[in-house]
Structure 1
């Protein structure tokens, strides 16, 4: 008998029983080792998680998902010979590659998140420690209608940093109580005022999580280090993994001298973004969030601002 050769059908290319367009089809939680170069510094090695998607037209049953893995691997192999300095650029390159491999797709989306270690020194003794910061990046590429080789790309870079906040409202209550008690003990009013100026009153604290993301066109780069520093400076105090007693004193005193509501943190971040990024284009999308894990309540406090950079500049500069 002659051998029979069968051509396997391309099941993904067949027509679905319910022909509707799908916004995202892909794979999630793909873990890869990523090396990011730094000028005049040692490279950073990140254990990163990727979510990778393309859109799917109504006349196609499925996407060729293996091409998503091929796109990531190809770009990461390229990194070995061509240095990559920004994680958002890495996502952009993968999105480009996805559209090249999925000829039926009009848009591709890549999301990446990693834990990033930053070196810090405690505020009093200068003890060296490492702090974990969550960083993330995204890129979306849309195929041009007139030129099949043109892709409109948007990039997003962001970070989430843990800090500490002190409640202004409870502190004002304690200030009033302290002033009343000192007055009943016969302390003069001027002395009470001086004392309250020097010694911050007790209040309840929160572990705060500040989040900033900046979405820009493909030809503009945003400093991740600057984003991290802005978030850290926008809460009542930074927190540290290792502290001696004198360090604890500084952290607690700093936080209580700088009490902030969750709304204050978001507005401070917005102000610092405008100051730190004067060249950021007006159409950049700025998303700022603050989540405070309350210590005397079961709920968390939340505040958010989403705006274009031009709108944010106008609001802040008009004050």
Structure 2
């Protein structure tokens, strides 16, 4: 076969390095082991990138997909962690970044009747590697919760307004932390956790639980932060909460980010 011109390796004279270049929006099957020891098969939206020195015109996009598919038809967490170093070698880069975001499911029993229902959460793994440097691994969980307004409860003669919110919680760790453990930490920090299936006795219970545990969005992020700082494996966290207000046409928002130790 006639050798084809390698345009990507041509020289670029604009003297502008690129921080990240690669592929994103690529769906790929993955396997994630849950805390109970089972393997959950799901589908991730993948993004893979490297840095590009100023003298190269482009990167070889096909090599990202080659590296991903070299692990077979389904990727596990260990393979995800190894991918950045493979990209460093395959693309002769000094820094590589991979990201996988996927739905994670767990069965939750209703609080009174015990009826099971499947809850889904969004999870994101981000892994970055530098040549001759350590891996940087960040796990993010996106957890829907219920919050009840302390001010509304205090000033109202009857009831209080509540709303659903989402907490986006990211951590770095010394030793791996289970996804379920991070979800539980967030749900304990809200007025009440959410459920897929609720019968009337369950609905009464969660309504009263939220009423007895009002939290502002500020309380929510502080609760998650306090629990993060008490966790022996977490070395950095970022907690972001957004409440979809039920009596306003805007959302309430708060964030705390902190490196521990």
TM-score, normalised with respect to structure 2? 0.94
What's the CA shift string for 1:197-253, capped at 9, x where partnerless? xxxx5111110111211124xx73222211010111111001112111111100100
**Aligned-residue offset at 1:91:** 2.9
Question: Which residue number in structure 1 is paired with residue 89 of structure 2?
Answer: 100
Which structure has the highest helix share of the two?
1
Counterpart CA distance in 2 for 1:209 and 1:309 is 24
* Structure whose CA Rg is larger: 1
Conserved in 2, the CA contact under 8 Å of 1:92 and 1:141? no
Conserved in 2, the CA contact under 8 Å of 1:208 and 1:235? no
Counterpart CA distance in 2 for 1:52 and 1:236 is 37
**Aligned-residue offset at 1:270:** 1.1
Counterpart CA distance in 2 for 1:272 and 1:285 is 12
**Aligned-residue offset at 1:20:** 1.3
Counterpart CA distance in 2 for 1:274 and 1:285 is 9
Query: Structure 2: where are the runs of 5+ without partners?
Result: none
TM-score, normalised with respect to structure 1? 0.77
Pick one of 45, 50, 75 that aligns with 1:49. 45
SS of structure 1 residue aligned to 2:135: strand
Conserved in 2, the CA contact under 8 Å of 1:96 and 1:141? yes
SS of structure 2 residue aligned to 1:119: strand
**Aligned-residue offset at 1:77:** 5.7
Query: Structure 1: where are the runs of 5+ without partners?
Result: 145-150, 179-200, 311-319
Question: Which residue number in structure 1 is paired with residue 113 of structure 2?
Answer: 125
Corresponding residue pairs, total = 261
Counterpart CA distance in 1 for 2:171 and 2:160 is 33
Counterpart CA distance in 2 for 1:78 and 1:252 is 41
What's the CA shift string for 1:86-106, capped at 9, x where partnerless? x4x443211111111011x11
Q: Does 1:232 align with 2:214?
A: no
Which structure has the highest strand share of the two?
2
CA 1:90–1:305: 2 relative to 1, 3 Å: farther
Conserved in 1, the CA contact under 8 Å of 2:34 and 2:179? no
Conserved in 2, the CA contact under 8 Å of 1:75 and 1:94? no
SS of structure 2 residue aligned to 1:266: helix
SS of structure 1 residue aligned to 2:134: strand
Question: Which residue number in structure 1 is paired with residue 199 of structure 2?
Answer: 244
Question: Which residue number in structure 1 is paired with residue 104 of structure 2?
Answer: 116
Question: Which residue number in structure 1 is paired with residue 154 of structure 2?
Answer: 172
**Aligned-residue offset at 1:76:** 4.7
Question: Which residue number in structure 1 is paired with residue 221 of structure 2?
Answer: 266
**Aligned-residue offset at 1:39:** 7.3
Pick one of 32, 35, 38 that aligns with 1:36. 32
Conserved in 1, the CA contact under 8 Å of 2:147 and 2:164? yes
Q: Does 1:301 align with 2:241?
A: no
